[in-house]
A and B are shown apart, each in its own frame.
Chain A
Amino acid sequence: MNPILETRAVTKRFSKSLDFAAKLARRMGANVSEETVHAVDGVDLAVMPGEVVGLVGESGCGKSTLGRMVAGILPPTEGSVMFEGADIAAMDRAEARKAALEIQMIFQDPFASLNPRMRVDQIIGEAPLFHGIASRAELPDYVDDIMRRTGLDPSLKRRYPHQFSGGQRQRIGIARALAVKPRFLVCDEAIAALDVSIQAQVINLFVDLREELDLTYLFISHDLSVVEHISDRVVIMYLGRVVESAPIADIFDAPNHPYTVALLNEAPRLDQRRRAFEPVKGEIPSPLDPPTGCHFHPRCPHAHARCSAERPALREIAPGRLSACHLNDG
């Protein structure tokens, strides 16, 4: 089986160009240089059809940037994003538009991602009408159907987003994404802003929709327990790089990379009571100036000389399991 979506050595750099004052200062001999953030640094990712891949990492690890590149919102600086084996950047206009429809994104903030001046039926119906998925005559029924599917009452479709609660707004965001019949959904912290009981409702909706519509998800989250619940495979990122990738059972039962181990140890869980927290030392380094070699070495309890000198490659350590750590070399 071929992956539905693949990124090949995809890299995103953001640089702040020097303003006039800084250029002047440099000309006068000051030590000013352009600041470049390596948000995503050569990531290979393959997602199989029907798979749910959880993308986990702490803030600044590049998980959202990667998600945006996959969804076509940001162009990669280097590398390529392939949809069904074809490079999206090399497609002609019609193909690229088709690929763009097939990949949809659901955003974190249900308050910021909906246009407050559009009614719900306009929000959901705009794209299918434009792309000819539904004709103007079919549109009302089409919108009703999608609203029902996502657990919204179609009688509320003439309301505006501010008349809905956070959980309902997130459903509107999901309905909007589903309206163009995508096959691949990028969910960027899609439930992080919701209350616990509402989170469960939306997680269940994602699980149901996956079965009904045969969807593939890239599920981006910082919350390990949510990712563990919904995903088939987990990819862990740290400072722009993938450090480990494995099927869900393997990674939670026997994590390989020291960062994964730390992350799993520290995620609070219901079944661990009044425990003594033994936190990993140090902070997440600035992505402006990442450490040499393995990005995790300054915080790693097992670091040795090689870790600060050489970047560990992401290698297969068991069938279906990848890890980027020098310790695996024996």
Chain B
Amino acid sequence: MTATLSVTGLHTHFFTRAGVVKAVDGVDFDVAPGEVMGLVGESGSGKSITGFSIMGLIDEPGKIVSGSIRLKGEELVGASEEAMRALRGNRVAMIFQDPMMTLNPVLRVDTQMVEAIRAHEKVSKRDALARSRDALGMVGIPAPEERLRAYPHQLSGGMRQRVAIAIAFLNEPDLIIADEPTTALDVTIQSQIIHEAQSLCKRTGTALIWITHDLAVVAGIADRIAVMYAGRIVEAGGIDAVIDTPLHPYTVGLLGSVPTSNRRGERLTQIPGMPPNVLNLPEGCTFRERCPRATAECRHEPAITEPRAGQAVRCFHPHGGGA
């Protein structure tokens, strides 16, 4: 089976007056059809910029410096703006944290949905409308007929996010990138949204990249997980492997920071210090200044190794590896 999306050696840098921000600095991953990949990291780790790079949404002063992004074999880096426009909303779609990034506040929901369909396909308005209604029904919106005639401000936050998801799924894209889609929502609404996204991916075979800082959400939805730190993927693998037996000291620290029921009231293991300034990243391993296992060797760049089958890590001294 060929991967839906294959990213290799992606470097996205921002050339600011203060210096070069290496927001994404060497990222590789594949996503298979129907697979849900969780892309996890803290703010500034480059997880969102990775998503924007795939969508071709990097603006000045940012630039994809090198690397390749292939969607079903087709190279997206360096593709013309015209080609990207034909792709966006059709074969790749994005769901943002704030649904108002997707929705136009002065247009009715039906206008926006019909537009999204007719931009990519020659169908009659009536057919497009029927498809929009079905899409709203699919994401669990009650009375889709009425909601179609509503303006975004007449809907609640959860409803708006559902509409945004329905629009993302409208043209049954190969790939959807969801950037913190449930972070602003309440727990009960969050679980409804996750439920819809999960079942839609299963049904349509759409690959999904779920970008979040919340490890617990990723544990609930993803098949595979990639952990980013300071522009690089430091660990990637199957969800069970990475969460149960993490290899990278950063992943270990991150998991220790999440309160769980079996350590009620105990001190959390905290990662000392703060994420590094992206303008001035340390040489070698970017985590070494906060890492309890760092040695002199860490001044050099660690290569990606696979101590366990299917679980890759970028570290000289991974946990459980005996080193």
User: Chain A residues in contact with chain B, CB under 8 A?
Assistant: 58-59, 165, 167, 195-201, 203-204, 207, 222, 224-226, 228-230, 248-249, 252, 262-263, 265-280, 283-284
Contacts and interface: CB of A to CB of B under 8 A. Distances in A.
Given A196-B42, A266-B187, A273 B220 contact: yes
B263 to A, nearest CB: 7
Contacts of B188: 58, 262-263, 266, 279-280, 284
Nearest to B260: A270
A205 to B, nearest CB: 9
B121 interface: no
Contacts of A262: 188
B78 to A, nearest CB: 34
B259 A203 contact: yes
Identify the 6 closest CB pairs spanning chains A and B, nearest first: A229-B259, A200-B257, A266-B191, A277-B195, A58-B186, A268-B216
A226 B264 CA distance: 9
Contact of A274 (B216, B223, B263, B270): B223
B275 interface: yes
Contacts of A230: 259, 265
Nearest to B223: A274
12 contacts: A58-B186, A165-B274, A196-B254, A200-B268, A200-B269, A207-B267, A228-B261, A230-B265, A266-B191, A268-B194, A270-B258, A284-B186
Contacts of B156: 283
B310 to A, nearest CB: 15
B77 interface: no
B219 A224 contact: no
Given A201-B270, A225-B258, A196 B240 contact: no
Contact of A58 (B187, B213, B215, B253): B187
B270 A277 contact: no
A104 B64 CA distance: 49
B198 A277 contact: yes
Interface string B206-250: 000000011111011111000000000000000110010000000
A206 to B, nearest CB: 11
A200 B271 contact: yes
A270 B216 contact: yes
A286 to B, nearest CB: 9
A274 B216 CA distance: 11
A59 B290 CA distance: 36
B54 interface: no
Given A263-B188, A279-B191, A272 B219 contact: yes
Contacts of A283: 156, 158-159, 189
B43 to A, nearest CB: 6
Given A196-B42, A196-B213, 8 more contacts: A197-B275, A200-B256, A200-B257, A266-B188, A267-B187, A276-B195, A277-B192, A284-B189
B312 to A, nearest CB: 19
A277 B258 contact: no
Nearest to A60: B186
B260 A268 contact: no
Interface string B254-291: 11111111011101111100110000000000000000
Contact of B195 (A274, A278, A284): A278
A306 B260 CA distance: 37
Interface residues of B, number: 47
Nearest to A286: B156
B102 interface: no
A167 B42 CA distance: 13
Given A252-B261, A269-B219, A273-B219, A195 B43 contact: yes
B190 interface: yes
Of A201, A268, A271, A274, most B-chain CB atoms within 10 Å? A268
Interface in B158-201: 158-159, 186-192, 194-195, 198
B187 A229 contact: no
A89 B41 CA distance: 47
Contacts of B223: 274
Of B187, B243, B256, most A-chain CB atoms within 10 Å? B187
A258 to B, nearest CB: 12
Contacts of A228: 259, 261, 264
Nearest to A229: B259
Contacts of B194: 268, 277
B221 A274 contact: yes
B271 A268 contact: no
Contact of B258 (A59, A196, A275): A196
B268 A204 contact: yes
B268 A203 contact: yes
Contacts of A229: 259-260, 263-265, 268
B261 A197 contact: no
B230 to A, nearest CB: 13
A266 B222 CA distance: 16
B192 to A, nearest CB: 4
Contacts of A59: 186
A270 B239 contact: no
A276 B240 CA distance: 16
B220 A275 contact: yes
Contacts of B243: 270, 273
Contact of A263 (B187, B260, B265): B187
A198 B190 CA distance: 23
